[in-house]
Chains A and B, each alone.
Chain A
């Protein structure tokens, strides 16, 4: 059995770990509240954006726009949003798994990382990392999303990548986060128009006009659409990150609690044992003298 002192030291160290995890939990709870609020505020914008793009594509029909068909390059550009810090349970690995265990060939992938943890994983596995925007994760601004989308769209237009994907963690509620892989470009017309087409037709009796005309309007709106999706991904990922960390730290704290209980029991037993032993020794000693 471990000595009393050892047990005491161990218990002390677990106690201080518990204090840290408890504090981290509180911090991420507060951050989560903030991030959640932001995610909700921006939701309206994306719904509107989505509806507009869908109705536009439904009307545009089968015009031959570069944004609507895959580029010649077999390379796939993937924007991966992870966190800069660890200790968030499976949050980071769940996102990176979408790519490392998905249908992508390693040679064909160009990664645009947002978040240090994802960058480390992809570097270790030998993926080609094209850009690194890790510093925007802490407090994502719309202008940051604009910068990222400008870069990927440039690469797409220049034919360096043929398709663009976005990997992020969708925020359903505080405990449910869904790692999601989304195809940004080429925009898939058929699916989206099919899903909402009927609804749209009944909603607005008069047909929507576009000014400037189709092609030019697509040129201008698709980048905005991509930007808004990237921004939405960022905001939701930040909320999910804090949610995941809160959960991870919560279970760490309760695990520590359990270990402390166990160690306290062992400590008390060891203390009791040593007292009993001392007593036995004293009695034996006294007996020896009196004889």
Chain B
């Protein structure tokens, strides 16, 4: 059980504690690109970009769709403050696909009023959701 290379991962959302446990590695997408964190990382705070969160426990890996928030990385502890995060079984595939189509449509038919940033984020979210379940 007590693996030398494990560290503590906590994923907290405003509504609940999403995940709390010993993990081997955690991967996610940040504004600067995708990162994978092992124990002993330099202390760092990064901002999350929509993407897949992969939690590698000693014997298995779990995925989740992480959409917004930020991560505090300490040498032996990682805390993810997630505004929006879902396990794969909480995702409604049909809804995600509809949202993707809608966001693409909005980006294609650009008008001056289109909030491009918002449409892009929505698209990224939808893609992250779909990727997590497939």
- Contact between chains at B14 and A228 (CB < 8 Å): yes
- Contact between chains at A41 and B43 (CB < 8 Å): no
Is A221 on the interface with B (CB-CB < 8 A)?
yes
Pick from A6-14, A48-56, A104-112, A249-257 the stretch touching chain B: A48-56
Residue in contact with B70 in the complex, picked from A38, A42, A220, CB distance below 8 Å: A220
Pick from A67-75, A85-93, A206-214, A267-275 the stretch touching chain B: A206-214
Residue in contact with A45 in the complex, picked from B13, B47, B68, CB distance below 8 Å: B13
- Contact between chains at B79 and A208 (CB < 8 Å): no
- Contact between chains at A211 and B81 (CB < 8 Å): no
Is B15 on the interface with A (CB-CB < 8 A)?
yes
- Contact between chains at B15 and A224 (CB < 8 Å): no
Chain B residues, Cβ within 8 Å of A52: 45, 70, 72, 81
Q: How far is the CA of A45 from the CA of B42 in the complex (A)?
A: 23
Contact with A along B85-106 (1 / 0, CB 8 A): 0000000000000000000000
Q: How far does the Cβ of B71 sit from chain A's closest Cβ, in whole Å?
A: 10
Is A201 on the interface with B (CB-CB < 8 A)?
no
Give B30-49 interface residues, CB cut-off 8 Å to A.
30-32, 42-47
- Contact between chains at B30 and A211 (CB < 8 Å): yes
- Contact between chains at A48 and B72 (CB < 8 Å): yes
Is A204 on the interface with B (CB-CB < 8 A)?
yes
Q: How far is the CA of A49 from the CA of B81 in the complex (A)?
A: 7
Is A217 on the interface with B (CB-CB < 8 A)?
yes
Q: How far is the CA of A228 from the CA of B82 in the complex (A)?
A: 11
Chain B residues, Cβ within 8 Å of A206: 42-43, 75
Interface of A is mostly: helix
- Contact between chains at A212 and B72 (CB < 8 Å): no
- Contact between chains at A204 and B43 (CB < 8 Å): yes
Most buried by B among A38, A207, A208, A231: A208
Q: How far does the Cβ of A57 sit from chain B's closest Cβ, in whole Å?
A: 12
Is A44 on the interface with B (CB-CB < 8 A)?
yes
Residue in contact with A217 in the complex, picked from B17, B45, B68, B84, CB distance below 8 Å: B45
Chain A residues, Cβ within 8 Å of B68: 224
- Contact between chains at A209 and B15 (CB < 8 Å): no
Q: How far does the Cβ of B125 sit from chain A's closest Cβ, in whole Å?
A: 12
Is A146 on the interface with B (CB-CB < 8 A)?
yes
Chain A residues, Cβ within 8 Å of B70: 52, 220-221, 224
Classify chain A: how many residues form its interface, as a range.
20 to 34
Residue in contact with B14 in the complex, picked from A42, A208, A209, CB distance below 8 Å: A42
- Contact between chains at B12 and A221 (CB < 8 Å): no
- Contact between chains at B81 and A48 (CB < 8 Å): yes
Contact with B along A28-62 (1 / 0, CB 8 A): 00000000001001101110110010001000000
- Contact between chains at B79 and A48 (CB < 8 Å): yes
Q: How far is the CA of A41 from the CA of B16 in the complex (A)?
A: 6
Q: How far does the Cβ of A83 sit from chain B's closest Cβ, in whole Å?
A: 21
- Contact between chains at B43 and A208 (CB < 8 Å): yes
Q: How far is the CA of A210 from the CA of B31 in the complex (A)?
A: 12
Closest A residue by C-beta to B75: A206
Q: How far does the Cβ of A59 sit from chain B's closest Cβ, in whole Å?
A: 10
Chain A residues, Cβ within 8 Å of B46: 210-211
- Contact between chains at B45 and A56 (CB < 8 Å): yes
Q: A212-B32, A217-B47, A220-B70 are in contact. Are A45 and B75 (CB under 8 A)?
A: no
**30 A/B residue pairs, CB under 8 Å, sorted by A:** A41-B16, A41-B17, A42-B15, A44-B17, A45-B12, A46-B14, A48-B72, A48-B79, A52-B45, A52-B72, A142-B14, A146-B83, A204-B43, A204-B74, A206-B43, A207-B43, A208-B44, A208-B45, A209-B44, A210-B45, A211-B30, A211-B32, A211-B44, A211-B47, A212-B32, A216-B31, A217-B47, A220-B70, A224-B68, A227-B83
